[in-house]
Amino acid sequence: MQPTPAEVARTLAAGHLPAGAHIACRPGPLPVRHVTDQHGGVLLLSPRDGALAGALRPAAGTDDTALVLDISDVPPVAGAPSLGRVWVSGWARALAGDEARQAALDYAETDPATDLLDVGDTQVLHRMDVAEVRYERSGVLIDIDPEDFAEAGPDPLRAIEFDLIADLADHHVPEMSSYVRRQLGPVAGPDDQPQVVRLDRYGMLVRVGDRLARLAFPRAVQDRHDLAHLLHPVLCRRCGD
């Protein structure tokens, strides 16, 4: 199994990566802090008197502003392939009162930023209603239905992917090498040192020499604890004794 394009797009847009906002008739792109909430809506957090809030100020007679959020993947380690790039288009409007307070709670589920305490004062939250999602990887552009984007869950391991890969590289090299060689057979030569370069809920991507191989998990994992439970027989040398 592999992540669907909608799942990858939701993962990229979750809020763990830098993003730029392209706003109609405004210079840019402007850097933006954002998260995607559990319903697939995008929340933008910015200083009330900052460039982004000014650029998102609606024209007379309207209450929202069109923009495109541009997010590119940042691979967790050297030699890891990129997951690609996503563009999320829609209309953003400023939130106030109870709606802003609830949005701050939704934002904090992904990013508990201290600036959220100042929403309604020095900080402002905009909600972006998603109208179009486009995902690009290796030169292939895919249009994703906004409903599919909203329903897809972001990968639960993406925010801790670097830590997980670093832990495997620092503490479990012999066990992982043995496991990879058993899975790949003669593809892994005697002098090749397998290296895990990407992890997601469905499996791991391993670099062996100048080749990449994907090893699937028997089921999708839910979180770090679930991954540790799944990999325990691989990483515990005594389990097979």
Report domain extents, the chain: 5-152, 160-240
CB atoms within 10 A of CB 135: 23
Nearest of 5, 28, 4 to residue 143 by alpha carbon: 5
pLDDT digits (tens, 9 = 90+) for 23-63: 987 877 999 999 999 889 999 999 999 999 999 998 888 88
The dotted CATH code for 160-240 is: 3.20.180.10
pLDDT digits (tens, 9 = 90+) for 116-173: 999 999 999 999 999 999 999 999 999 999 999 999 999 999 999 999 999 988 888 8
Whole-angstrom CA distances from 116 to 69, 96, 113 are: 21, 13, 6
Pairing of strands 123-137, 140-144: antiparallel
Query: Which of the given ranges, 42-46, 63-67, 228-232, has the highest pLDDT on average?
Result: 42-46
**Superfamily classification of domain 5-152:** Electron Transport, Fmn-binding Protein; Chain A (2.30.110.10)
Query: pTM to 2 decimals?
Result: 0.90
